[in-house]
A and B are shown apart, each in its own frame.
Chain A
């Protein structure tokens, strides 16, 4: 098998705050291959965005610290955690691109769209201004903006939310990065615009064979785009697997809860939605055992005392839950969680 483009091993990131240390990411490992779309799902505060931003070293130190023993190996040669800011500047934009959630605040309001894109190109490649502008127009056409030659002279405020997100995507693609990190790329958009952007991302991924890390809380978006899924809870990976593993054979009670709390268009509305009671733990003082134990209907004594390691279900599928231990009582998976819609 080819070497992965990105290998994250035991990543730990903490924020030193006035009130103490927030352990935002507590030992995350995953790898990503060329052309793969990996979704990281979880609720707010689970550490998915901190993980993504740490891969690009966008979280400032202080207050954040990458702990000893963490490793992010990019393209088999760059150890991201050890790189200096000037080395990172070369990697960022050139080899990794990022699409942020909020296109309103992540574009420069004082620069035209064309100037912003060509600035990125000229930072990494020695090309003339006019040439960079021409490429900017090409990129805008690639992301589905009509009359790109006029659009490059427009400012972000002249564009709608969906159009700004297209500009963001063009910007992140400017230097043909090997890895694209999309942090909630469609959350701020309306559904019909969201469908356009997902379509565009999928299309670009196919054309350029870029690897994508998709950060989202929306399982619907995951089902549309991802090949593999990592489920995070309270700073840890609780389950990882292929798209089918996670949707049709999920093994972690948190994944069950997530899948069951989304209403389906065909669900019976007389039934209550299955919600997960309670709220995620405080990461100033994470629990000793499994972080999900306090909200888990299947929690056993061991869950409160020892944090489970990942148990392998198959080569690609593993889950950090004591229920998978050979000695654990057998628990029936709630049917709705793993139901295939068409039997």
Chain B
């Protein structure tokens, strides 16, 4: 079982210490694994800790507790050559294509920077490789000499993807890679992600708040709420039979671009807002907004258990 898992996250915690000895538990005890070659979607509303999870997995943040095993090795214990190798194997595509490309570097330089750091290619070979990457992401080789400001949002995101691919990673974390783009361009970029995965056997951790798009690209999905995973299932199962009340309401909150369907369906509109992660509710974090909350929910955090094979959820109702 553990053999085909490229990534295993065990009881991962990331706490931020704030002034006045307050502790913000952005990520609080996550357990999940990602199989080689699959796409794992991580969804949740703003402040639920999904981006912090991604950043802790790639070690932009040091974990407060727990482990992240990449190909069986704890990434937070790596150093030296091993760490360098790890950074080659795992790359990230960021949300904001405007802020994540250096405006003073040409596109060619941006893409080749990683190759230089890892000493992969040089001279003519490097140039050839940059051209190839640009073509792979749907741009042309003439673009190598231009600067980021000459490109549209969608094109910039393609450059960000080419940069991530340049050092031949096995694993890519995409943190809201399409939410800054227009609808028709979002579809282009999602198709590109899927095509690259097919051609190169990549594994993705796809972080987003748009459940419809995540469902389209992911094999399995994890739903987060206030720093905890509340449900993990295959994307078909999650859509057909969501078990956790939060997932149910999240699904029913998505506006469907189909007026008739819209009128027919019953919606669960959640009351209130996400509580502050500085002062989370006792027991189940969702209980303050949950339509089914019971006294038990305030007392203990429901265990994250396997309800059906491959379908995990944390709720006292189950």
Where the two chains meet, the residues of A that have a C-beta atom closer than 8 Å to any C-beta of B are 43-44, 160, 162-163, 190-196, 198-199, 217-224, 243-244, 247, 257-259, 261-267, 269, 272-277, 279, 340-342
- B249 (CB) vs chain A CBs: closest residue: A192
B256 in complex: contacting residue of A258, A265, A274, A275, CB < 8 Å: A265
- B190 (CB) vs chain A CBs: closest residue: A273
Task: Mark interface residues in B170-195 (1 if CB within 8 Å of A CB, else 0).
Answer: 00000000000011111110110010
Complex-state Cα separation, A223 to B183, whole angstroms: 16
Task: Mark interface residues in B198-233 (1 if CB within 8 Å of A CB, else 0).
Answer: 000000000001011101110000000000000000
Which residues in A have their C-beta under 8 angstroms from that of B262? 223-224
Complex-state Cα separation, A237 to B252, whole angstroms: 32
* A243 with B259: CB separation less than 8 A: yes
Q: Does B261 reach chain A (CB closer than 8 Å)?
A: yes
* B253 with A262: CB separation less than 8 A: no
Asked if A224 meets B255 with Cβ closer than 8 Å, knowing A199-B269, A275-B185, A279-B152, the reply is: yes
* A273 with B45: CB separation less than 8 A: no
| B: number of interface residues (CB 8 Å) | 45
* B184 with A43: CB separation less than 8 A: yes
A341 in complex: contacting residue of B186, B213, B258, CB < 8 Å: B258
Main secondary structure of the interface of B (DSSP, over half): helix
- B153 (CB) vs chain A CBs: closest residue: A44
Nearest chain B CB to A279 CB, angstrom units: 5
Complex-state Cα separation, A279 to B261, whole angstroms: 31
Q: Does B139 reach chain A (CB closer than 8 Å)?
A: no
Closest A-B pairs by Cβ, 4 of them: A220-B255, A275-B187, A219-B257, A261-B187
* B182 with A192: CB separation less than 8 A: no
Nearest chain A CB to B196 CB, angstrom units: 13
Complex-state Cα separation, A181 to B288, whole angstroms: 34
* A273 with B256: CB separation less than 8 A: no
Q: Does B81 reach chain A (CB closer than 8 Å)?
A: no
Asked if A191 meets B260 with Cβ closer than 8 Å, knowing A160-B273, A273-B191, the reply is: no
Asked if A198 meets B184 with Cβ closer than 8 Å, knowing A190-B45, A190-B209, A267-B216, the reply is: no
Nearest chain A CB to B245 CB, angstrom units: 12
Complex-state Cα separation, A202 to B217, whole angstroms: 32
Asked if A269 meets B183 with Cβ closer than 8 Å, knowing A191-B45, A223-B257, the reply is: no
* A262 with B257: CB separation less than 8 A: yes
* B270 with A247: CB separation less than 8 A: no
- B182 (CB) vs chain A CBs: closest residue: A43
- Considering the complex, which residues of chain B in the window 241-298 have a beta carbon less than 8 Å from any beta carbon of chain A? 249-262, 264, 267, 269-271, 273-274
* B216 with A263: CB separation less than 8 A: yes
* B270 with A195: CB separation less than 8 A: yes
* B212 with A265: CB separation less than 8 A: yes
Which residues in A have their C-beta under 8 angstroms from that of B253? 191-192, 194-195
Asked if A259 meets B257 with Cβ closer than 8 Å, knowing A272-B194, A279-B185, the reply is: yes
Nearest chain B CB to A251 CB, angstrom units: 17
**Among A199, A222, A269, A340, which residue has the most Cβ atoms of chain B within 10 A?**
A269
Which residues in A have their C-beta under 8 angstroms from that of B252? 195
Complex-state Cα separation, A163 to B194, whole angstroms: 38
Which residues in A have their C-beta under 8 angstroms from that of B184? 43, 257-258, 261, 275-276
* B187 with A274: CB separation less than 8 A: yes
A262 in complex: contacting residue of B191, B212, B259, B261, CB < 8 Å: B212
* B270 with A196: CB separation less than 8 A: yes
Which residues in B have their C-beta under 8 angstroms from that of A272? 191, 194
Where the two chains meet, the residues of B that have a C-beta atom closer than 8 Å to any C-beta of A are 45-46, 152, 154-155, 182-188, 190-191, 194, 209, 211-213, 215-217, 235, 239, 249-262, 264, 267, 269-271, 273-274
* A265 with B251: CB separation less than 8 A: yes
* A341 with B261: CB separation less than 8 A: yes
Complex-state Cα separation, A317 to B117, whole angstroms: 58
**Among B183, B188, B261, which residue has the most Cβ atoms of chain A within 10 A?**
B183
* A342 with B213: CB separation less than 8 A: no
* B216 with A273: CB separation less than 8 A: yes
Which residues in B have their C-beta under 8 angstroms from that of A163? 273
Nearest chain B CB to A276 CB, angstrom units: 4
* B270 with A217: CB separation less than 8 A: no
- B236 (CB) vs chain A CBs: closest residue: A269
* B212 with A223: CB separation less than 8 A: no
* A341 with B260: CB separation less than 8 A: yes
Complex-state Cα separation, A251 to B155, whole angstroms: 29
B250 in complex: contacting residue of A192, A217, A342, CB < 8 Å: A192
- A221 (CB) vs chain B CBs: closest residue: B255
Complex-state Cα separation, A108 to B256, whole angstroms: 34
Complex-state Cα separation, A340 to B212, whole angstroms: 18
Complex-state Cα separation, A290 to B217, whole angstroms: 34
Complex-state Cα separation, A169 to B221, whole angstroms: 35
* A247 with B258: CB separation less than 8 A: yes
Nearest chain B CB to A302 CB, angstrom units: 24
Which residues in A have their C-beta under 8 angstroms from that of B269? 192, 195-196, 199
Which residues in B have their C-beta under 8 angstroms from that of A265? 211-212, 215, 239, 251, 254, 256
* A192 with B259: CB separation less than 8 A: no
Which residues in B have their C-beta under 8 angstroms from that of A221? 255
- A41 (CB) vs chain B CBs: closest residue: B183
- A144 (CB) vs chain B CBs: closest residue: B271
* A263 with B213: CB separation less than 8 A: yes
* B187 with A220: CB separation less than 8 A: no
Nearest chain B CB to A102 CB, angstrom units: 14
Between A and B, 11 residue pairs with Cβ closer than 8 Å are A44-B182, A191-B253, A195-B252, A199-B269, A263-B215, A265-B212, A265-B256, A266-B239, A272-B194, A275-B186, A276-B187
* B216 with A192: CB separation less than 8 A: no
Which residues in B have their C-beta under 8 angstroms from that of A243? 259
If A43-B182, A224-B255, A247-B259 are given as contacts, then 18 extra A-B residue pairs at C-beta distance below 8 Å, sorted by A number, are A162-B273, A190-B46, A191-B209, A217-B183, A219-B257, A223-B255, A262-B212, A263-B187, A263-B212, A263-B216, A264-B257, A265-B212, A265-B239, A265-B256, A275-B186, A276-B184, A341-B261, A342-B264
